[in-house]
Amino acid sequence: MSKSDQEVVFRATIPGKLEVTRRYVLAPDSGDDTDPYQMRAESSFRNLASEPTQPMRVALALGTAAPVDDRDNGLYLAAWYSDGKSQSSIPRARFEASGGFLGLGLGAHGAAPVIETPGPVAWAAVSNQFFVGILTPDQPGAGLASRRAYLLTGLPNTDNHAYGVTQTAEFDLPALKPGETATLGAGYYVGPKEYRRLSNADVFKVDQDKVMQFGMFKFFSALLLTLMTWIHSFVPNWGLSIILTTLTLKTIFIYPTLASLRSSRRMQKIQPLLKAVNEKYKDNPQKKNQATMELFKEHKVNPLGGCLPMLITMPFFFGFYRMLMSSADLRFAPFLWSADLSAPDTVGHLPYLGIAINVMPILLGIVSFAQVKLSPQPTVDNAQAKMMMFTPLIMLIFCYSFSCALSLYSTTNGLFTIAQQLVINRMRDDGDPAAAKAGAGKGMKNVTPGRRK
User: In this predicted model, which residue has the larger pLDDT, 391 or 397?
Assistant: 397
Question: When comparing pLDDT for 285 and 109, which is higher?
Answer: 285
pLDDT at 160 over 90: no
Of residues 196 and 426, more confidence is placed in 196
pLDDT at 167 > cutoff 50 = yes
Q: Which of 149-153, 184-188, 230-234, 374-378 has the lowest mean pLDDT?
A: 374-378
DSSP 8-state code for residue 185: E
Cα 205 to Cα 5, 117, 199, 200: the distances in Å are 27, 20, 8, 8
Indicate whether 417 pLDDT > 60.
yes
Q: Is residue 383's pLDDT more than 70?
A: no
Q: What distance in Å separates the CA atoms of residue 426 and residue 271, rounded to the nearest whole number?
A: 20
Helical ranges in 156-217 per DSSP H = 195-198
Query: What pLDDT is stored for residue 21 in this prediction?
Result: 92
What value does the mean pLDDT take over residues 241-262? Answer: 82
Q: Higher-confidence residue: 417 or 430?
A: 417
244 pLDDT more than 90: yes
For residue 200, what pLDDT is reported? Answer: 75
Which range has the worst mean pLDDT, 117-121, 271-275, 362-366, 441-445?
Answer: 441-445
What pLDDT is attached to residue 297? Answer: 73
Task: Domains for the chain: give ranges and CATH numbers.
Answer: 2-25+38-98+112-192 (2.70.98.90), 238-434 (no CATH)
Burial class (CB in 10 A: 0-12, 13-18, 19+), 185: middle
**Arithmetic mean of pLDDT, 368-387:** 67
Higher-confidence position of 20 and 68: 20
Looking at residue 273, its pLDDT comes to 77
At residue 444, the pLDDT reads 40
> Across residues 37-65, what is the average pLDDT?
89
Nearest to 359 by CA among 367, 347, 350, 369: 347
pLDDT at 450: 42
Q: Give the confidence band of 30 by pLDDT, cuts at 50, 70, 90.
A: low
Max CA separation in the chain (angstroms): 135
Average pLDDT (44-67) is 89
- Considering only residues 431 and 391, tell me which one the structure prediction assigns the higher pLDDT: 391
Q: Which of 153-157, 188-192, 254-258 has the highest mean pLDDT?
A: 188-192
Mean pLDDT of 39-67: 89
Question: What's the rounded Cα separation, in Å, for the pair 398 and 411?
Answer: 14
- Percent of the chain surpassing pLDDT 90: 13
Average pLDDT of the segment spanning 108-131: 85
3-state SS assignment for residue 322: helix
pLDDT for 216 equals 83
- pLDDT of 59 strictly over 70: yes
> Do 295 and 270 touch, CB atoms closer than 8 A?
yes
Contact (CB, 8 A) for 134 and 125: yes
Average pLDDT, the chain: 80
Confidence of residue 439 (pLDDT cuts 50, 70, 90): very low
Helix (H) or strand (E) holding 244: helix 238-252
143-162 burial code (b ≥16 CB/10 A, e <16): bbbbbbbeeeeeeeeeebbb
Task: For residues 177 and 261, give the distance between their C-alpha atoms in angstroms, rounded to a whole number.
Answer: 77
pLDDT, tens digit (0-9, with 9 covering 90-100), for 297-336: 777 676 665 566 667 777 888 888 888 888 888 888 899 8
Top mean pLDDT of 67-76, 276-285, 356-365, 395-404 is at 356-365
Give residue 166's pLDDT: 92
How is 105-156 classified by DSSP, letter by letter? STT-B---SEEEEEEEESEEEEE-SSEEEEEEESS-EEEEEEEEEE--SSS-
